[in-house]
Amino acid sequence: MHRLVLILLPLIMILSCQIPLLSKRAKTTLNVSKDYALQRVNEIRAKGCKCGNKYYRPVGKLTWNEVLEKTAVSHAFEMNKYDFFSHKSRKGEDVGDRFSIAGYKWQYAGENLAVGQKTFDEALKDWVKSSTHCKMLMNSDMKEMGISRYGKYWVQHFGKKLPPKTRRKNVRYREG
């Protein structure tokens, strides 16, 4: 019994020290409220927007999705930890793969990335200035979003869930 305690005590101490590290990993540093981020994105969608040379008419509002926020946090954390910038994870998973792994049954999936901006408004401004990122912001197929910043990396995830009682068969995410 004494031997078991001697073995378990250091393990418990190590694990208890790891818990704060794991919880920090799940936190974003947006420095604005989710409501503010959602409001700003929805203002752009409600007005319509010129993305590159094409004008996009107003589209419906997005709602916040906690799973999409968590996938954004996870991808931002990974890019920060391993110092890379990509729409694919280090394992080669695209945004659709990452949504599926998180349990988000998606019909549509999308992602905007940014690096180096100090504030959410700067990241949003840069996404609007980029025709491909702006197009994703204005995509009428997208109904939900989640955003995260970790370190210098910003991740904005968009999605629309599959209708109830349906499932995807051999269809993968594709860019654009």
Q: What is the pLDDT of residues 7-62, one digit of tens each?
A: 443 433 433 333 233 334 445 678 899 999 999 999 999 999 999 999 999 999 99
Residue-wise pLDDT for 84-128, tens only, equals 999 999 999 999 999 999 999 999 999 999 999 999 999 999 999
Location of structure tokens 């818990």: 19
pLDDT value, residue 2 = 46
Q: Return the DSSP state at 140.
A: T
pLDDT value, residue 175 = 53
The answer, yes or no, to whether residue 136 has pLDDT greater than 90, is: yes
The 3-state DSSP class for residue 112 equals strand
d(CA 30, CA 104): 22
pLDDT value, residue 169 = 77
Residue-wise pLDDT for 138-148, tens only, equals 999 999 999 99
Contact 3, 84 (CB under 8 A): no
Contact 23, 15 (CB under 8 A): no
| Strand arrangement, sheet containing 153-161 | 63-64, 144-150, 153-161, 106-115
- Whole-prediction pTM value? 0.82
Location of structure tokens 């629309």: 160
Q: Give the model's confidence band at 153: pLDDT under 50 very low, under 70 low, under 90 confident, else very high.
A: very high
Mean pLDDT, range 155-164, rounded to an integer: 96
The 3-state DSSP class for residue 168 equals coil
